[in-house]
């Protein structure tokens, strides 16, 4: 089956404004891990600086951005595995986020379960892990929305749970058209929330996160349980919630 064809001119004509907060999750030890290797905060700052110098360079458009926003756009390193809007290899970065924190949690839950499904000999962690959910402000006049006409007519391609070829081709064409953000329906969220893929750091409206939440996330053969104390929120995903992806059989069975 041939892929849908969208030219740069066609995508440019569909560009629209997008400006709202979006959410992303990262493992909470992204900063404290280096603290285990030093004796003082001054030494940690020095170590973090040395590590930063050893990483691939950031594009000029990331100047002044908090590292949580800038990190997905690092160039120079080989992207090991393709994702929905980014091919594997030395390709340009994408900042994946969701319009609701619950959708971001669903995405995280799916990919954590997928890791264990594809590595059946790896035991589930004994304890829950801490994750940081953070929101960022976005603002661009060059976004396309795959949930709206006319792009939604190719929904079957944009929502394929395994084959990302159509989405990756679309993203490459979108870059040629000057598109900075792609809004699309989450394939993983049981509630079908919306995701946003930022193709450029220019789509950020603020240089730092707006809000942060700490989540405790536990994985098991039954699924994923996530708890946040402030604000008080609980959410659970069963393995069957992601049944549209054949790679995700019940882990451990």
Q: Is residue 197 part of a domain?
A: yes
Instruction: Return the residue matching tokens 């976004």.
Output: 143
Q: Is residue 48 part of a domain?
A: no
How would residue 39 be classed by pLDDT, with cut points 50, 70 and 90?
A: low
Which segment of 68-77, 161-170, 175-184 scores lowest on mean pLDDT? 68-77
Q: Is residue 109 part of a domain?
A: yes
Cis check: omega of the bond before 47, within 30 degrees of 0: no
Q: Over the stretch 221-236, which tens digit does the pLDDT of each residue have?
A: 889 999 999 999 999 9
Number of structural domains the chain divides into: 1
The residues, any chain, with a CB within 8 Å of residue 10's CB and separated by 6 or more, are none
Structural domain that includes position 214: 8-31+59-242
Token pair of 251 as six digits: 């882990």
The pTM of the full predicted model, rounded to 2 decimals, is 0.90
Q: Is residue 52 part of a domain?
A: no
Comparison of pLDDT for 240 and 14, the residue scoring more: 14
What's the start-to-end Cα distance of the chain, in Å?
34
Q: How far is residue 60's CA from residue 150's CA, in Å, rounded to a whole number? A: 34
Token pair of 12 as six digits: 């440019």
Contact 22, 99 (CB under 8 A): yes
Q: Is residue 44 part of a domain?
A: no
Question: Which pLDDT score is estimated for 69?
Answer: 97
Q: Is residue 253 part of a domain?
A: no
Contact 200, 61 (CB under 8 A): yes
Q: Is residue 39 part of a domain?
A: no
Q: Is residue 189 part of a domain?
A: yes
């Amino acid at each position: 089956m041939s892929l849908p064809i969208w030219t740069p001119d066609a995508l440019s004509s569909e560009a629209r404004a997008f400006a709202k907060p979006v959410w992303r999750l990262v493992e909470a030890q992204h900063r404290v891990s280096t603290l285990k290797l030093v004796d003082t905060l001054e030494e940690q700052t020095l170590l973090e600086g040395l590590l930063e110098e050893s990483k691939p360079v950031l594009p000029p458009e990331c100047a002044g951005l908090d590292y949580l926003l800038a990190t997905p756009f690092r160039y120079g390193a080989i992207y090991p595995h393709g994702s929905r809007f980014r091919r594997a290899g030395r390709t340009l970065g994408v900042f994946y986020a969701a319009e609701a924190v619950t959708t971001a949690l669903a995405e995280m839950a799916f990919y954590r379960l997928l890791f264990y499904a594809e590595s059946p000999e790896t035991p589930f962690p004994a304890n829950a892990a801490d994750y940081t959910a953070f929101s960022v402000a976005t603002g661009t006049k060059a976004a396309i929305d795959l949930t709206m006409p006319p792009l939604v007519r190719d929904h079957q391609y944009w929502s394929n749970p395994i084959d990302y070829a159509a989405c990756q081709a679309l993203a490459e064409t979108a870059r040629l058209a000057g598109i900075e953000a792609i809004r699309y329906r989450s394939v993983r969220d049981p509630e079908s929330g919306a995701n946003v893929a930022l193709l450029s750091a220019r789509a950020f409206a603020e240089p730092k996160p707006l809000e942060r939440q700490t989540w405790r996330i536990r994985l098991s053969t039954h699924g994923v349980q996530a708890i946040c104390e402030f604000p008080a929120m609980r959410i659970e995903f069963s393995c069957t919630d992601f049944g549209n992806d054949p790679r995700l059989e019940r882990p451990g069975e």
